[in-house]
A and B are shown apart, each in its own frame.
Chain A
Amino acid sequence: MKPVTTITGTMMPLDRGDVDTDQIIPQQFLKRIERDGYGEFLFYNWAHTDNGTPSSDFVINDPARRGARVLVTGPNFGCGSSREHAPWAIQQWGFEAVITASAADIFRNNSSYVGLLVVELPQDAVTRLIDTASDPTAEVSIDLESQTVTADGLEEHFEFNPTAKERLLTGLDGIGVTMGHDDLIASHEEARPAWLPTTVDVSS
């Protein structure tokens, strides 16, 4: 994972709430066994007409916004399924961060593991950012170290889980870190009662 420190760029305003992961990356694109190749399918059903041509009225197809780096959107973003394909698709389209009034739990977790910065701000700050973003050249800046979002006339502090912050700042491999605690895992393992189930096939 690439470390994340400061992100500065233009915005893509998506002014709606409860955007679920089925909209972010529809099910028909979940059949790949690779981690890449999802960017072009981001918001596919909203971004395309019934015959597969780009919908000109959907914001992501606005040529003036092709270089956007920060998706700005309403509350409960990423609700629904656990598909990590959702943050993959957002990143692979070109976004480095999502600013939302609130993120769904699994989406927030998944994003923190793949280096997509998800920032939660109060709805009124999100509304102001979306107003600012009516100018496609308006920039926003997110500093993870100081947990601050800055844009024209706006400076907001945001909360962030300290461990997820550390992981994003360093880009460390989480599995390697956990494996360093092998002694603690092993001693927990030894104390587990013998009646707990195993999946060793009882029929064979």
Chain B
Amino acid sequence: MTAPRTLFQKVWDNHIVIDADPTLLYVDLHLVHEVTSPQAFAGLNQSGRTVRRPDLTVATVDHGIPTTGRSLGIRDPLSKRQIDALVQNCKDHSITMFGLDDPRQGIVHVVGPEQGLTQPGLLVVCGDSHTSTHGAFGALAFGIGTTEVEHVLATQTIWQAKPQSMAVEVEGELPWGVAAKDLILGIIAQIGVSGGTRHVIEYRGRAIHDLSMEQRMTICNMSIEGGARAGMIAPDETTIRYIEGRPFAPKGVQWDEAVSVWESLVTDPDAVFDKVAVLDASRLVPHVSWGVNPAQTVPVTGSVPSPDSYDDPLQRDAAVRALEYMALRPGTPILDIAVDHVFLGSCTNGRIEDLRAAAKVVEGRRVDSRVSAVVVPGSMQVKAQAESEGLHEVFEAAGFSWRDAGCSSCLAMNPDVIPAGERCASTSNRNYEGRQGRGARTHLVSPAMAAAAAVAGHFVDVREWEDS
């Protein structure tokens, strides 16, 4: 009898090419974008090597592209050069690309699942840390650097030191008005920004089981914000229903074979995790980040903490610096913080359910006159779906700007930069200093919380609005 294994262990075992430390693993799906790939292709070309499996590689443009006026072309010459390089590299190496004029273009971590490419049990890599998103399907998915991108292009494999396993057990039910974003912010606040380092997290328990696929993607997306190598959720009925019928999903007899394999991808009852964290979802409330890392977060009902509340001197110093950067005073109620910008989008919260949740809050209301608010759908498919439901009309009537798909203000590599000193309620994943633009002040929130802040001009507890 084989020893009981975790979901992570099973997926790991299925990909071993050379069983050593580190292990050589086979990559099933390699996602490529314009920012972290040009040097990898250049290296490949210089060495006269080819892409081993272009048929397991797919590219899109997302990081540096504008979200308005695309028909006018890319104005930033450096971004244009990067995008042109990807187009040429994909052409030279016969790689499928969802380019700027393709209706499937979008953020790489929105596109993969949406097209049915992301499937349970796969090993997925991409030169982007939010590759952890794909773990929502029970895939083992992690971010890699450019040298590793070149290695995967050339060999379709990757060397990995085996991470340890960590269970995040989320018991209870998420209360009404509390989003998946609040759950993952709550988890990170508990485990800290390095609580998952050298570990692969499996999210488990009732509250996780109850989540939709898109909510699960929000959770796994931010695993890296807890330092984890990857985040995973075991595939179930919800997963299978989501994948069925998507363009790249298995069909016919192959579908039945795939499903029978996917159903075995669960942690065995007696399997042991190296580390466990437990959280009660029923006690969660909407969260708002106040500082400059995703663990510096408090409930919307709370206030900006005092650095003295930290025992660890490094954490205390970090809080002092964070308060200075964020221009906040300890004790300020979160509800009293006014915002200048609202950004709805990103690979964390740029999917159709996110836009629906925000539109529900916005409907029949107006964006505060002091706030500049934008919606950037995660992909052009999400945009098309939202438009077919009339969501763009809800947003535009309220005063939101309705954009084309991309990473946009999540990391401000395109023109959507938040000006210095201004404050943004953002549905993205990182509130680092300068992340949305030099001197910009980011507060991470859920889509509903961001929408409510746009209307009120300051943070509000969206549960009070949704009750009415």
Contacts and interface: CB of A to CB of B under 8 A. Distances in A.
Interface of A: 16-18, 20, 22-23, 26-28, 30-35, 45, 50, 74-76, 79-84, 87, 102, 104-106, 109-110, 113-114, 161-163, 174-175, 178-179, 181, 184-185, 188-189, 192-203
Given A45-B433, A81-B129, A106-B129, A197 B250 contact: yes
B79 interface: yes
A197 B39 contact: no
20 contacts: A22-B433, A22-B435, A30-B35, A31-B82, A79-B193, A82-B128, A82-B131, A106-B142, A109-B144, A113-B147, A161-B22, A163-B159, A175-B154, A184-B17, A192-B26, A193-B257, A197-B28, A199-B29, A199-B56, A199-B58
Nearest to B81: A33
Interface string B206-239: 0000000000000000001001010000000000
User: Which of A45, A113, A174, A198 has the most CB atoms of chain B within a 10 A radius of its CB?
Assistant: A198
B144 A31 contact: no
Contact of B64 (A31, A163, A193): A31
A14 B78 CA distance: 31
> From DSSP, what is the main secondary structure of chain A's interface residues?
loop
Nearest to A123: B314
Contact of A199 (B117, B119, B131, B432): B117
**What range describes how many residues of B lie at the interface?**
35 or more
Contacts of B117: 197, 199
Contact of A82 (B24, B143, B249): B143
B229 A105 contact: yes
Nearest to B58: A199
B420 A80 contact: no
A81 B132 CA distance: 12
A110 B438 CA distance: 25
A74 B82 CA distance: 34
A106 B230 CA distance: 11
A45 to B, nearest CB: 5
B227 A76 contact: yes
A186 to B, nearest CB: 10
B242 interface: no
B128 to A, nearest CB: 6
Contacts of A105: 163, 197-198, 227, 229
B337 interface: no
Contacts of B163: 105
A91 B342 CA distance: 37
Contact of A16 (B20, B78, B317): B317
Interface string B244-276: 000111100011011001000000000000000
B254 A194 contact: yes
B154 A179 contact: yes
B311 interface: no
Nearest to B196: A105
Interface in B170-194: 193-194
Among B81, B229, B432, max chain A CB count under 10 A is at B432
B430 A196 contact: no
Contacts of A76: 193-194, 197, 227
Nearest to B155: A178
B193 A27 contact: no
